[in-house]
Copies of this chain bind each other. A is one copy, B any other.
């Protein structure tokens, strides 16, 4: 069974927006940002700020922690993409200091 859960912030935001039949323009206006920027955020071309993630969560009535998790996961991916050969072991080392 594959629920096809989205695992990056942009896709998730687009999903939330489309499920609520909202336009990019409307979302952007609400956050007082350029529509172009919101478009880039959804497509992963630009990163949202933490503040923007919080506001988006509120606006979409979505779980803020979930969105922040995806937001951080995106950042981690960007970081490890530089060095995929050693990414796996580096993650293991890094995770030692974050045993939730």
Contacts and interface: CB of A to CB of B under 8 A. Distances in A.
Contacts of A97: 77
Total copies of the chain:
2
Given A68-B86, A79-B75, A80-B72, A91 B93 contact: no
Interface string A77-95: 1011011111111110111
A89 B76 contact: no
Contacts of A50: 82-83
Interface of A: 7, 50, 65, 68-73, 75-77, 79-80, 82-91, 93-100
* Complex A-B, nearest 6 residue pairs according to Cβ-Cβ distance, in ascending order: A72-B90, A88-B100, A73-B93, A76-B94, A73-B90, A69-B86
